[in-house]
Each structure stands twice: as C-alpha cells, then as structure tokens.
C-alpha cells in the first residue's frame, strides 16, 4: 500500500516530466568509492511506491551520443571516454594523466554508457521544456557539475548541466543556473564565465575544501562580468541561515536578470550527516530551496548532483519530486525494494543535528551585501537578439513525438496501446538484479568501524580531490591489475574490500550501449575561458591549492 500524498494548498498544477533509466544502477565506481549510482534507483523506488507516477510523465531518455557531448567537450576527450575500459586502461596511462582520470574519477565498466545516460536525460529534459511539453523536467542522474571541457573532476566526467543549458539557450535568451550542492559548481561557472546569457549562482562551502574555487570576488570576465555569483559558506549551515540568504539573493536575481528558464542543481551533500558534506541542513531546509525556485513559475530543469549517504539522498530527492508534482509525501516510508536501508525508524524526514553553525549573522549579512552589490552592477537583464532559431532533424521529432496522445483530452482514458507502451517490465525492480552469480550477494566488512577495512584496502583519492581537502587534481591513473585464471576467494568477514556500511548490493546488469547518433545540435559559443583566479579576501579562509 502506497504511503499518503497530500496536495499542497495553493499550488498551481505543473506538467512534470521525470527521467529515469533502469540501467543506471548497473554501474559501480569501485569498492570504497563514495559515489554510488544505485542511489538514483533507490530514489526511483520511493517515487514509484509513493505513487508519484500518477502525478507526472515518466520517460527513459535516449542516451547522448558522442557528437552531442562535443557541443561542449573536446573531441579527443569524448573519444577517450568512449574507448577506455578497465581491460585496456594500461594502454592509456598518458591520457589518464592528461584528462585527470584516476582515483577520484576511476575507470569502470560502462563508463561511457553511464555518461551518456546522465547527459541524455538532461538534454532531453531541456528539449521538452523549450518546446513547452512540460513545466518541470527532473533528471536525478544528472547534475555532474565539476566536469570540464577536457577534464574529469570530482566524480564527474561529462557535464550534463552545460549540455542542458546549451539546449535551453536555443530557445531562451537568458538562463539562470542555481547550485545548492555543498561543493562549488566550478565546471558550469567556468563554461559560461565570459557570457551574459547564463547567470550562475552557487551556494557552497568555501575554504580548504574541494574544488577550491567559488571565491566571493569570482564574478565573471568580459561580457560575463557580474553574471557569476558565488556565496561562500562555512561549516554547520542551518536551515534558518540558509533560508535567510538563499531567498533574498534569488529574489533579487530573478528581478534583475529575468531568465527565460532555470536550471537547479539539487546536490544533497549539503544535507546534515552527509559523508563528504559539512552543512547541517535538513531535508525540508533543502527542499525549501526547490519550493522557492519553483514559485517563480519559470520552466525548470531539476538535476541531481552530490550526495553520499544514500538513504538520505533518496529520501530528499523523492520528497522534492513530490514538491515538483504539487504534493507533499507522507512521513512513513512505503515498502520498497530498499526498505531495510531506511531503518530503524523508516521515516522520510532527514533532520538536522546539534552541529554548531559557524556562519554568524554578521558574516552572512556582509557576504549577502557584497553579492547583491554585484547584482546591481548588471544594470538589468541583457538584451539578446534571437531572430533565427536553429533546427535539426531532432526538432521535427520533438515537435510532437506523441501527436496521437496529445489529441486525447486529459480526462479521457488512454488507448490500451499507449498504456502498454508505458508499462515497466516485470521484475525490473526485483532484487534479482542486485545479486551476484549463484544468488550470492556482495559482502562488506562490518567488523571495522564505518565498514572500512584496516589492511589491504584500496583508498580512493587519498589526501587529495573531492574526498579530502587540498589539491583539486587527482593522484593520477589507476593501473589495472593483471588478469589471472585463479578464481577469486569467497568473501569472508575479514575481507579487505573497502565497502560502505549502507551500500546496497551492486547490480551485475550491464548497461545497454548508446544508440546511433542523432543530431541534437546546439547553437552556442564554444569560446570558453578558464575562471579568473584572484586572491582570497580577508573575510574568507584560504582556498585549496590547485
């Protein structure tokens, strides 16, 4: 029985498109790595068992092609991602150094397919928004904001956000990007640092913290000057303080910039208790940002991002999916395939702890004043002439992909052929996908504290990268172990594999390969410059050294 959904009073009904690809749970960064794509399937399981599928349209997006990825990324980088595998990675040692693929961003089975699914959902969501097929598009597999034009960074390989924004820019003169991840959205800011057609606003932890960018005085250059906003925050940020700075800043941004569409990166590593985060924001405090941005009524693309305590990630994104659909989910977790991970209380809420908030009122007011002063320098929304909107073959397909369906009044029952085409395959959410051969599940060592083995465990990103303070660059390439014919020993309580204590079993199902290329070509400038480097102000901590 599905848990309750309570309609939100005064909420205008929105057309919501929700993107999910069941293959996403088949990817695994490696033992001990904090990024776990399975969290997206955990969220989807909550979405389905709460009954949210009744409130929105669910799509499986076409994976992005190499050609589509090169709208932002360099050709040689995309080609490298498509070719490297754990089997042949020893032949790409030089390229791994060049493209920063190593410990933070490891090589794993299906790497390119994983990137294609993430980017495809964001681009498809942006395309449907631009063509007025929906009011809100959601892709929790997206939001990988650290990837650069020719470099992987912070668990991100392909920047689906930039690709989605480029799609939106074909139909909208101005796009606003808002980032509420605990880490600075450096990849997106850098991509649009020299243009006024995209304003980026990032609220993040700053000071000896990955990626070491996002300083208060990083405001853009050239035509993009004052169109990059950064709000550096300190440890322990509370709901009350977050709301006190987020709402007035975004209110002024909307009044000053007047965007045609909004992209919201909903990274949940800003939640209290996240394994890599340092804020003390509750689920409702995080969701308040989503609710406030939605209230402006602009076309909205909601994307995932960071989040490394999986039971909290899935709770928060499921709750925010409900807000997008105009309902508030009930407090009790419904029975689902990951039900045991939500114990012992089996409640939806993620609450704040008693962590001290280092963001004083004086500090927040001072930073807010500086950010609002940068906004005043923009002088109102910039004017962009758009006389010719480019069109390609995909535009004709997207013009009305479900023409017959759209002719049917919403209150009339759909034909059986349409209902059949939307059915999920039997057993798609069964546990069998998460089991290994001979019905054996992967085992973790729960004798060690936090499930971390004390000997022989391979640690990712030791002393550098997103999993620690310091350098923004990875250690280097990971060398593949030689393949032997000796069978692997059975897992035991003394295993040296570093696993998370709350990590669901890894799916053994391989992702489907991306289909043939299509031509979703964007008309956007490829003249992208690096972010301007400036000395930190006296009021902020020293940034991490690159």
Long-range contacts, stretch 4-9, CB < 8 angstroms, 24+ apart: 4/329, 4/330, 5/50, 5/51, 5/52, 5/55, 5/322, 5/327, 5/328, 5/329, 5/330, 6/327, 6/328, 6/330, 7/326, 7/327, 7/328, 8/323, 8/326, 8/327, 8/328
Locus of tokens 């999910």: 20
DSSP-assigned letter for residue 476 = -
C-alpha distances out from residue 293 to 143, 250, 300, 304, 423, Å: 16, 8, 8, 15, 32
CB 514 within 8 A of CB 321: no
Spacing of C-alpha 25 from chain mean position: 15
- Please say whether the beta carbons of 498 and 450 come within 8 A: no
Number of helices (H) and strands (E) in the chain: give both, helices first: 14, 10
What is the distance in angstroms between the CA of the first residue and the CA of the last residue of the chain? 52
Q: For residues 496 and 457, is the Cβ–Cβ distance under 8 A?
A: yes
> Residue holding tokens 């029975």?
335
- Per the DSSP assignment, residues forming a β-bridge with 153 are 156
146 is catalytic: yes
Calculate the CA 226 to chain-centre distance.
25
Q: How many C-beta atoms surround the C-beta of residue 10 within 10 A?
A: 6
DSSP state of 243: H
Would you say 514 and 113 are in contact if contact means Cβ atoms under 8 Å apart?
Answer: yes
Residue ranges with strand state E in 298-338: 300-303, 327-329
The 8-class DSSP code of residue 438 comes to G
Residues in contact with 517: Cβ distance below 8 Å, sequence separation at least 6, in sequence order:
65, 66, 67, 68
Please pick, among 146, 184, 286, 374, the residue that the annotation labels catalytic: 146
Half-sphere exposure of 137 (CA within 13 A, CB side): 32
Q: Which residues are catalytic?
A: 146
């Amino acid at each position: 029985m599905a848990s309750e959904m309570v309609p939100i009073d005064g909420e205008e009904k929105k057309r919501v498109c929700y993107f999910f690809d069941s293959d996403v749970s088949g990817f695994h960064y490696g033992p001990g790595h904090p990024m776990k794509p399975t969290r997206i399937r955990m969220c989807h399981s909550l979405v389905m068992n709460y009954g949210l599928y009744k409130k929105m349209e669910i799509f499986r997006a076409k994976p992005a092609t190499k050609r589509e990825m090169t709208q932002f990324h360099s050709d040689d980088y995309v080609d490298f991602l498509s070719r490297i595998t754990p089997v042949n990675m020893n032949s790409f040692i030089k390229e791994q150094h060049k493209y920063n693929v190593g410990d933070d961003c490891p090589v794993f089975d299906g790497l390119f397919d994983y990137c294609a699914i993430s980017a495809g959902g964001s681009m498809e969501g942006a395309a449907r928004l631009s063509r007025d097929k929906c009011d809100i598009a959601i892709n929790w597999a997206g939001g990988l904001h650290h990837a650069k034009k020719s470099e992987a960074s912070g668990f991100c390989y392909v920047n689906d956000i930039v690709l989605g924004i480029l799609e939106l820019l074909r139909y909208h003169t101005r796009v606003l990007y808002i980032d509420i991840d605990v880490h600075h959205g450096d990849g997106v800011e850098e991509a649009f640092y020299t243009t006024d057609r995209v304003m980026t606003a990032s609220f993040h932890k700053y000071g000896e913290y990955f990626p070491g960018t996002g300083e208060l005085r990083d405001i853009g250059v050239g035509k993009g000057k004052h169109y990059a906003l950064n709000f550096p925050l300190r440890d322990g940020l509370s709901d009350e303080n977050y709301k006190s700075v987020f709402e007035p800043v975004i209110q002024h941004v909307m009044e000053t910039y007047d965007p045609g569409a909004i992209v919201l990166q909903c990274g949940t590593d800003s939640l209290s208790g996240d394994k890599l985060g340092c804020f003390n924001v509750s689920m409702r405090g995080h969701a308040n940002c989503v609710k406030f941005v939605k209230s402006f009524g602009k076309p909205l693309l909601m994307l995932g991002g960071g989040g490394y305590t999986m039971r909290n990630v899935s709770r928060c994104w499921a709750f925010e999916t409900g807000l997008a659909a105009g309902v508030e989910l009930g407090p009790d977790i419904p029975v689902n395939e990951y039900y045991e991970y939500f114990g012992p209380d089996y409640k939806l809420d993620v609450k704040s702890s008693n962590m001290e908030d280092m963001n004083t009122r004086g500090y927040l007011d001072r930073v807010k004043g500086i950010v609002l002063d940068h906004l005043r320098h923009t002088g109102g929304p910039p004017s962009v002439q758009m006389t010719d909107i480019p069109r390609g073959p995909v535009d004709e397909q997207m013009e009305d992909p479900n023409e017959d369906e759209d002719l049917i009044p919403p209150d009339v029952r759909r034909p059986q052929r349409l209902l059949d085409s939307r059915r999920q395959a039997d057993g798609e959410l069964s546990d069998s996908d998460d089991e290994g051969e001979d019905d054996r599940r992967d085992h973790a060592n729960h004798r060690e504290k936090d499930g971390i083995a004390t000997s022989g465990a391979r640690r990712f990103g030791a002393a550098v990268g997103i999993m620690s303070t310091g350098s923004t660059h990875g250690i280097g390439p990971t060398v593949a172990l030689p393949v032997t014919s000796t069978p692997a020993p059975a897992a035991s309580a003394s295993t040296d594999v570093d696993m998370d204590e709350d990590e669901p079993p890894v799916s053994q199902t391989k992702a489907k390969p991306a289909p043939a290329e299509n031509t979703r070509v964007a008309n956007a400038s490829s003249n992208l410059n690096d972010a301007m480097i400036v000395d930190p102000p006296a009021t902020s901590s020293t940034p991490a050294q690159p």
